[in-house]
Amino acid sequence: MTAHSKEAAETMKREGLLSRAEHWLRAKSTWTLLGIFIPVSIVVGWIDFVTTWEVNLSLIYALIAGFVGWLGGRRAGIIMAFVNTTIPLIANQGSTPYQTALGYAWFNVSRLLFLTVIAIGASMIRKRRDEDADRIQMLEEMRQLEMEIVSASEHEQQRIGQDLHDGLCQQLAAIGCAVRALSDDLTAGQRPEASDAAKIEEALQQTVMEARSMARGIFPVHVDSSGLSAALEEMAQMTQRLTGVPIHVTDSAEVHIADPEVSMHLYRIAQEAVANSVRHSGAQQVVLSLLSNGKQIELRVDDNGRGIPRDLNGRSTGMGLRTMRYRAHALGADLDIEPRAGGGTSMCCRLPIPTSVNTNSHGKK
C-alpha cells in the first residue's frame, strides 16, 4: 500500500470515528448533553481564572456553545450560552480591566448575546442541513421509484413481446400452413374456392409479418452493446412499413455502450418520440438521428407535423412524454421537446458520454 493510500485510509477512519461520535452525542437528551459539556466549560473557566483577564478565552466559550447548539438544537445552545457567560463572569470577578460595574455588566451582556447568536446560528445551520439531507434522500427515493416504475414497464413490455412472438405469431403461422394445405387441396380439385383460400393465406402471411414486427418493436432483443444504431434503423423501417409514414435515419453514429440498460432507454425514448410523431402530430415525414461529438450522445427525432405547444414542454401529463422524461432522468440525460421553427416538433436527448461508451461516427442516408 502506498503512502497516499495509507493517508486516505487513515482520513476515512478518522471521519468515520467523528461521524459515529457525532451520532452518539446527537442521540443524547438535552440535559445529558449539557452534563457532558458543562464540565468542559468549567475546566475552561478554571484556566480563565488562573490566567486572569489578560488571556481572552471567549472564542473557546463560543465554540462550546456553538457545538452544543449544533448537536442539541436551539434550546440546548441557549442554555449553554448562559452557562458560558456565567462561568467567566465568576472566574474573572476579582480580576477585570473595567473601572466601573456598568462597563463590566455591558461586556457580559454583549458576551451573552454573542454566544447566543453563535448557538442559535449553529442550531439553524444544522437544522437546514438536516432538511437538505432529508430532501436529497426524498429525491433519491423518488428517482429510485421512477427507475423501478420504468424497469417494471420495460419488463412487462418484454414479456408481452416475447409472448406475442412465441404465442400468437406461432399460432398464426400454424393457421397459415393449414390454409396453404387447404388451398393446395382446393387447387388440385379445381374448386372455385381455391382463389379465396389463396387470398386468405396471403393475408395471414402479412398478418404474421406485422405481428412479428410488433413483437420485435416491443422486445428488441437486438439492442446490445453495439447494436443501438442498427436497432433504431430497423425500428424506423418497421414503423414506416406499418404506418406508411416515411422515416429517415440520417447522420447516425455507431455507439458502443457497455450497459445494455442505457441502450434500451435510448431506444425506448426514440421509439416513443417516433410513435408520437406518427400517431399524434399528423407528420408526413420523420427524421431520426443519433449523433456524437466525442463528449455527448445526441438522439434527435424531428417531424413536420402540427407541432407541440411552446408551454407544454416540461409540464406534460401524457404518459408517453412522462415516461420519456423518466428514462432520460434515469440516464442523467437532458431531454428537450420543442416546436420547430419551420413547423413540427423536435425531440432532443443529450447524454454525456461515460467512460464505458465509445463512439465512431459515420453518416447514413
Q: Identify which of 213, 296, 284 has the alpha carbon closest to the alpha carbon of residue 248.
A: 284
Predicted pLDDT of residue 314: 45
Q: Are residues 250 and 129 in the same domain?
A: no
Partners of 253 in the beta sheet? 361
Percent of the chain with pLDDT over 90: 18
Summarize pLDDT for 257-305 with one digit per residue, the tens.
Answer: 667 778 888 888 998 888 888 887 778 889 998 887 778 888 999 998 8
Asked whether residue 172 is domain-assigned, the answer is: no
Domain endpoint, select from 94, 111, 144:
144
CB 155 within 8 A of CB 264: no
User: What Cα–Cα distance (Å) separates residue 230 from each residue in 66, 173, 225, 226, 264?
Assistant: 62, 27, 11, 9, 13
Asked whether residue 228 is domain-assigned, the answer is: yes
Q: Between 104 and 364, name the one with better pLDDT.
A: 104
Query: What are the start-end ranges of the H helices in the chain?
Result: 3-26, 30-51, 58-72, 74-91, 101-163, 169-188, 194-218, 228-243, 260-279, 319-331
Q: Are residues 139 and 13 in the same domain?
A: yes
Residues 6+ apart with CB under 8 A from 135: none
Predicted pLDDT of residue 117: 95
Average pLDDT value over all residues in the chain: 79
Q: Are residues 362 and 227 in the same domain?
A: yes
Tell me whether residue 24 is exposed, middle or buried, using C-beta atoms within 10 angstroms of its C-beta: 0 to 12, 13 to 18, 19 or more. exposed
- Once rounded to an integer, what is the mean pLDDT over residues 29-36? 88
**Enclosing domain of residue 135:** 3-144
Interatomic CA distance for residues 361 and 254, integer angstroms: 6
Provide the number of structural domains found in the chain: 2
Interatomic CA distance for residues 305 and 283, integer angstroms: 4
Summarize pLDDT for 177-218 with one digit per residue, the tens.
Answer: 888 888 888 888 878 887 888 888 777 777 777 776 666 666
Predicted pLDDT of residue 123: 92
- Once rounded to an integer, what is the mean pLDDT over residues 93-99? 78
Summarize pLDDT for 110-146 with one digit per residue, the tens.
Answer: 999 999 999 999 999 999 998 998 899 888 888 777 7
| pTM confidence score | 0.51
Lowest-pLDDT range of 24-28, 154-158, 332-336: 154-158
User: What Cα–Cα distance (Å) separates residue 279 from each residue in 14, 303, 305, 315?
Assistant: 60, 12, 10, 20
Asked whether residue 185 is domain-assigned, the answer is: no
Q: Are residues 104 and 242 in the same domain?
A: no
Asked whether residue 199 is domain-assigned, the answer is: no
Q: Are residues 42 and 133 in the same domain?
A: yes
Asked whether residue 193 is domain-assigned, the answer is: no
Q: Identify which of 110, 102, 92, 11 has the alpha carbon closest to the alpha carbon of residue 52.
A: 92
Q: Are residues 119 and 237 in the same domain?
A: no
Q: Are residues 226 and 139 in the same domain?
A: no
Lowest-pLDDT range of 6-20, 170-184, 198-212, 242-256: 6-20
Q: Are residues 116 and 244 in the same domain?
A: no
Mapped onto helix, strand or coil, the DSSP state of residue 37 is helix
Residue 63, pLDDT above cutoff 90: yes
Asked whether residue 205 is domain-assigned, the answer is: no
Domain endpoint, select from 144, 175, 202:
144
Q: Are residues 243 and 362 in the same domain?
A: yes
Predicted pLDDT of residue 15: 55
Asked whether residue 173 is domain-assigned, the answer is: no
Q: Are residues 126 and 14 in the same domain?
A: yes
Give whichever of 103-107, 118-122, 164-168, 289-293 has the largest mean pLDDT.
Answer: 118-122
Q: Tell me, rounded to whole angstroms, the distance of Cα 245 from its chain centroid.
A: 34
- Once rounded to an integer, what is the mean pLDDT over residues 80-104? 86
Q: What is the distance between the terminal CA atoms of the chain, rounded to a whole angstrom?
A: 55
Domain endpoint, select from 88, 110, 144:
144
Q: What CATH number should be reported for the domain holding residue 327?
A: 3.30.565.10
Asked whether residue 132 is domain-assigned, the answer is: yes
Q: Are residues 261 and 136 in the same domain?
A: no
C-alpha torsion sign, points 187, 190, 195, 200: negative
The pair phi, psi for residue 322, each rounded to 5°, is: -65, -40
